[in-house]
Amino acid sequence: EKVWQISAGTAKNKRMHRVPLNDLSLKIIQESRPETYIRPENDVFVFGATKALSERALSKAILRKRVEIGVENFTPHDLRRTAATMITAVGLPSLYASLLLNHAQQGITNRVYVHYSYDFEKKKAADIWGEALFYIVSAVCDNEVPDVGKIKNRLVSLGLLREGM
Protein backbone atom coordinates (compact mmCIF):
# COMPACT_ATOMS: atom_id res chain seq x y z
CA GLU A 1 0.00 0.00 0.00
CA LYS A 2 3.06 2.26 0.28
CA VAL A 3 1.85 3.59 3.62
CA TRP A 4 3.50 3.68 7.03
CA GLN A 5 0.75 3.24 9.59
CA ILE A 6 1.38 4.48 13.11
CA SER A 7 -1.00 3.07 15.68
CA ALA A 8 -3.00 5.32 17.99
CA GLY A 9 -1.11 3.88 20.96
CA THR A 10 2.23 4.87 19.44
CA ALA A 11 1.28 8.32 18.11
CA LYS A 12 1.94 11.30 20.35
CA ASN A 13 -1.62 12.62 19.91
CA LYS A 14 -3.09 9.12 20.41
CA ARG A 15 -4.67 9.14 16.91
CA MET A 16 -3.86 6.55 14.28
CA HIS A 17 -1.79 8.10 11.50
CA ARG A 18 -1.23 6.89 7.95
CA VAL A 19 1.89 8.34 6.33
CA PRO A 20 2.12 7.86 2.57
CA LEU A 21 5.61 6.84 1.48
CA ASN A 22 6.90 8.78 -1.53
CA ASP A 23 9.29 7.34 -4.11
CA LEU A 24 12.35 8.79 -2.37
CA SER A 25 11.50 7.22 1.01
CA LEU A 26 10.80 3.85 -0.63
CA LYS A 27 14.13 4.06 -2.49
CA ILE A 28 16.00 4.83 0.74
CA ILE A 29 14.33 1.90 2.51
CA GLN A 30 15.12 -0.45 -0.37
CA GLU A 31 18.76 0.66 -0.56
CA SER A 32 19.16 0.30 3.21
CA ARG A 33 18.14 -3.33 3.25
CA PRO A 34 20.76 -6.04 2.85
CA GLU A 35 20.63 -7.69 -0.60
CA THR A 36 19.74 -11.00 1.03
CA TYR A 37 16.80 -9.54 3.00
CA ILE A 38 13.50 -11.37 2.52
CA ARG A 39 10.63 -9.88 4.47
CA PRO A 40 8.53 -12.48 6.31
CA GLU A 41 4.88 -12.47 5.27
CA ASN A 42 3.43 -11.20 8.56
CA ASP A 43 6.36 -8.96 9.57
CA VAL A 44 5.18 -5.49 10.63
CA PHE A 45 8.68 -4.00 10.79
CA VAL A 46 10.62 -2.66 7.81
CA PHE A 47 13.84 -4.59 8.33
CA GLY A 48 12.66 -7.66 10.21
CA ALA A 49 13.30 -6.31 13.70
CA THR A 50 11.65 -8.04 16.61
CA LYS A 51 10.51 -4.84 18.31
CA ALA A 52 9.92 -1.19 17.47
CA LEU A 53 12.66 1.40 17.83
CA SER A 54 12.47 3.58 20.89
CA GLU A 55 11.34 7.21 20.58
CA ARG A 56 14.93 8.35 21.07
CA ALA A 57 16.66 5.87 18.73
CA LEU A 58 17.01 8.28 15.80
CA SER A 59 18.18 11.14 18.03
CA LYS A 60 20.80 8.90 19.64
CA ALA A 61 22.02 7.63 16.25
CA ILE A 62 22.35 11.18 14.94
CA LEU A 63 24.30 12.25 18.03
CA ARG A 64 26.70 9.32 17.53
CA LYS A 65 27.18 10.05 13.82
CA ARG A 66 26.97 13.87 13.80
CA VAL A 67 30.70 14.45 13.30
CA GLU A 68 30.97 11.66 10.72
CA ILE A 69 28.13 13.08 8.57
CA GLY A 70 29.39 16.65 9.01
CA VAL A 71 26.25 18.21 10.46
CA GLU A 72 26.20 20.36 13.59
CA ASN A 73 23.23 21.17 15.83
CA PHE A 74 20.83 18.86 14.04
CA THR A 75 17.88 16.95 15.50
CA PRO A 76 15.22 14.76 13.86
CA HIS A 77 12.70 17.49 14.69
CA ASP A 78 14.53 19.75 12.22
CA LEU A 79 13.37 17.40 9.45
CA ARG A 80 9.72 17.92 10.44
CA ARG A 81 10.17 21.70 10.49
CA THR A 82 11.98 21.71 7.14
CA ALA A 83 9.36 19.50 5.47
CA ALA A 84 6.48 21.64 6.77
CA THR A 85 8.24 24.81 5.65
CA MET A 86 8.91 23.49 2.13
CA ILE A 87 5.40 22.07 1.70
CA THR A 88 3.88 25.48 2.44
CA ALA A 89 6.62 27.49 0.69
CA VAL A 90 5.84 25.87 -2.66
CA GLY A 91 2.18 26.76 -2.32
CA LEU A 92 0.31 23.95 -0.60
CA PRO A 93 -2.03 24.98 2.21
CA SER A 94 -0.57 24.66 5.71
CA LEU A 95 -3.30 22.08 6.37
CA TYR A 96 -1.36 19.63 4.18
CA ALA A 97 1.79 20.03 6.29
CA SER A 98 -0.26 19.74 9.47
CA LEU A 99 -1.87 16.52 8.26
CA LEU A 100 1.44 14.98 7.25
CA LEU A 101 2.86 15.78 10.70
CA ASN A 102 -0.23 14.27 12.39
CA HIS A 103 -1.16 17.46 14.20
CA ALA A 104 -4.66 17.33 15.67
CA GLN A 105 -7.13 19.51 13.79
CA GLN A 106 -8.79 22.12 15.98
CA GLY A 107 -12.49 22.72 16.43
CA ILE A 108 -15.42 20.54 17.39
CA THR A 109 -16.21 19.65 13.78
CA ASN A 110 -12.77 18.19 13.17
CA ARG A 111 -12.48 16.49 16.56
CA VAL A 112 -15.93 14.92 16.61
CA TYR A 113 -17.55 14.79 13.19
CA VAL A 114 -14.86 14.54 10.51
CA HIS A 115 -13.71 10.95 10.06
CA TYR A 116 -11.94 11.46 6.74
CA SER A 117 -8.36 10.14 6.66
CA TYR A 118 -6.98 12.86 4.32
CA ASP A 119 -4.87 10.22 2.54
CA PHE A 120 -5.06 12.13 -0.77
CA GLU A 121 -3.82 15.38 0.79
CA LYS A 122 -1.09 13.63 2.78
CA LYS A 123 0.10 11.77 -0.34
CA LYS A 124 0.24 15.03 -2.30
CA ALA A 125 2.32 16.67 0.45
CA ALA A 126 4.61 13.62 0.76
CA ASP A 127 5.17 13.44 -3.00
CA ILE A 128 5.94 17.16 -3.22
CA TRP A 129 8.29 17.00 -0.24
CA GLY A 130 10.05 13.93 -1.66
CA GLU A 131 10.62 15.55 -5.04
CA ALA A 132 11.74 18.86 -3.49
CA LEU A 133 14.16 17.07 -1.16
CA PHE A 134 15.56 14.96 -4.01
CA TYR A 135 16.14 18.11 -6.07
CA ILE A 136 17.92 19.77 -3.14
CA VAL A 137 20.18 16.85 -2.21
CA SER A 138 21.04 16.21 -5.88
CA ALA A 139 22.90 19.53 -6.04
CA VAL A 140 26.57 18.90 -6.73
CA CYS A 141 27.76 21.87 -4.68
CA ASP A 142 26.34 24.53 -2.34
CA ASN A 143 25.83 27.18 -5.02
CA GLU A 144 23.70 24.77 -7.06
CA VAL A 145 21.15 24.13 -4.30
CA PRO A 146 17.84 25.28 -5.80
CA ASP A 147 15.83 28.07 -4.20
CA VAL A 148 12.08 27.81 -3.60
CA GLY A 149 11.31 29.39 -6.99
CA LYS A 150 13.32 26.75 -8.86
CA ILE A 151 11.77 24.01 -6.77
CA LYS A 152 8.26 25.30 -7.54
CA ASN A 153 9.07 25.43 -11.27
CA ARG A 154 10.33 21.84 -11.17
CA LEU A 155 7.20 20.67 -9.31
CA VAL A 156 5.01 22.41 -11.92
CA SER A 157 6.98 20.85 -14.77
CA LEU A 158 6.51 17.40 -13.19
CA GLY A 159 2.76 18.00 -12.84
CA LEU A 160 2.83 17.89 -9.03
CA LEU A 161 1.77 21.55 -8.71
CA ARG A 162 -0.34 23.87 -10.84
CA GLU A 163 1.09 27.12 -12.14
CA GLY A 164 0.43 29.97 -9.71
CA MET A 165 0.07 27.85 -6.56
The mean pLDDT of 103-119, rounded to a whole number, is 84
- Residue 55: pLDDT above 80? no
Which pLDDT tens digit goes with each residue over 64-92? Answer: 888 888 877 888 888 889 999 999 999 99
Q: Is 24 exposed, middle or buried (0-12, 13-18, 19+ CB in 10 A)?
A: middle
Residue 48 confidence (pLDDT): 59
pLDDT at 157: 95
Tell me the pTM.
Answer: 0.78
The helix/strand/coil state of 19 is strand
